[in-house]
Structure 1
Amino acid sequence: MERHLTSSIALKPRTRYWQWFLFALLALMCHTGRCNEVSQVGSAPSEWAVAESSSSSSATTYVADADFDVMPTEVRVAAGTTAYLSCRPRSLRNKTVSWVRHRDLHILSVGRSVYTKDGRFSVYHQRHTGEWTLQLRSVQLKDSGLYECQIGTQPTRSYFVHLQVVEPTTSIFGGPDMHVHEGSPVNLSCLVSQAVGQPEFFFWYHNGQVMEFGGDRTEKRQYFPETDVTVSSLLIKAAHVSDSGNYTCQPAHCPPVSAKVYILKGEQPAAMQRSGSALMMNAAGYWWRLSLVAAAMCYSSYSVGLLTLPMSVFLFVSLTSVPNFG
């Protein structure tokens, strides 16, 4: 039924011809070479490269001190989890180890004593390895930055660890609304990215109740380390009317995401009309994208003044036209 509606979408003939005519006119003007501003703009990338190289050269580079064993200098964790920053001095000689946060130059700890009112921080020392670990629970985005492990010598010896806190994102493929005929399978895929590894668990809820898997309801989980994406797929082999409702995916330490599933019993004109409205909006969005492409192409090649009138006419006709159903 949706396929039939897709094929029936058509723009009004008169509006459609004007849109293609104006688009072709703009494209022709962009490639005739009436303006020479392209050669003038060509020098910009080299200036940007100089600015980029100059800014990068002024950045401070931190090199591991020879008085420390090699430990991770980049720690990447998901928001809401616990971060562990470690350093291992080779020889303390009765000197004190301190942790300093570079964002505000705040001394977080000296030895095993913590000097901050933030109760999320704690320090651990392993005697057999000589490792000093700064623990930060329930990390937040603002905790990102550089942390320094210092030995109280003269001059001071330091080991730098950069903490990066990322915020996980979740989405449901196939949502937010899904229309399925009774007896057909239902497949909802919950995608989690920026979680720094696989979430410890996934909870699925149906109308606020925790789902139990087994029989015709199964859950499959996949992890793709190259993109740091985890997918939890919920499959219902044969949908019944009772399977309608709200489905929520709740991964560990990640925001929940929901989708509504409508089980169609026979022909449902209301559901078909909702699908038709979505298709109409997609057609209107197509002309939006076409207009923006034309504007960007001409703006990058010529002066704005030369194309102000034709661009304005084209954008007005394209953005105000609404597809109809024939």
Structure 2
Amino acid sequence: MRSFGVVLFLVFTQIIRGERGEGFYKSPEFLGSIKNITVAAGRDASLSCFIKNSKGYKVAWVRVSTQTILTMNHHVITRNHRIHVSQPEAAEWKLDIKDVRPRDAGFYMCQVNTEPMRSKLGYLEVVEPPGIVDGETSRDQIVSEGDSIILACKAKGHPVPQISWRREDGMPVIAGTGSGEYIGPVIQLTSVRRDDMGAYLCIAQNGVPPAVSRRIILQVKYPPKVDLSLTSVRGRAGEAMVLTCVASGFPEPVTSWVHSGKTIQSDGRYEIATELSSSHVTTRLIIDPLEMTDNFDRYTCVAKNSLGNTEDYVTIQVSAKVAYDSGIRRDNNDYASNQKPKLDIWEVKKDEFNKYTSVNSMDIHKQQNQQERQQEII
């Protein structure tokens, strides 16, 4: 390849010499260096070469890595349709590369056929946002409690992406480290616990947006566990009672309630409500109404999965319903009143109808006052 490049440059030099002519033009001179550029893959790139007094000379752009002549003056030599050349100003020779690809990165040389040949180099850096490599990245995993597991994440891009790990629930990636983030392409979890179960996020970033991530679900198989929180509850006859049981386990446990050796169904005064979440099952038994016969009865919460079953019970205590009356308590034939009692004084008179009439105490007091006044006048 090196000998081919030497021959190529010699041929190029001889062609240029044969077409330039002698003694008619001033010697070309480069006006500064070629600026290195950085372009994201998929964008367009331009390299500019400034040469004074290039008229009458041949100016060429050459790909250094392959020693390929891309353009000569205003002509494109390569068959790459993404390559273009232009001369916006008398001293500027511009190489345009459309839809830049990672393989386009490297040195480009601007040459002019002086004796000896003069040239300048410019570097094109092509950056590429990170991308997850599927074949080298872990998929969702299911392991048994106590096993060991390796989670791997591979990303491509330029510059080389940095890999970091986080848990979706915010817990430490590796138990006991206290850190919510782990740097590196591989996580090794030894003696996996049920607390390690969850979603792990592999995040790849290299400063070129956008960053990418892959979500890997780790599921840990373990037998079910139930939590009733209370071993005894109290209620009143005629009222409703709700018993709550939280069951965890993987595979997801199936729950039920048992009373007097029989599985309870949602019927009559019983109703069962179940809620599912990513980590547990909550089941509630609603008893409405409570009866005195329920006193000191046991209600058992049962959870089962393919790895086993477990249960726990709660005892309920039922007291009689207490009646509350407001106001004054009286005999059975009386009634309660919140009003203050009114005192009446009764005077018995025999009238023309031989009946009894009531006289209000205020009227009697008024009559006595009138009689006293009459006696004073007399």
Judging by fraction of residues, say which structure has more strand.
Answer: 2
Structure having the larger proportion of residues in helix:
1
Do both proteins adopt the same fold according to a TM-score greater than 0.5, normalized to the shorter chain? no
Higher RCO, Cα 8 Å, sep 6+: 1
The structure number with the bigger radius of gyration is: 2
* TM superposition score normalised by structure 1: 0.34
TM-score normalised by the chain length of structure 2: 0.29
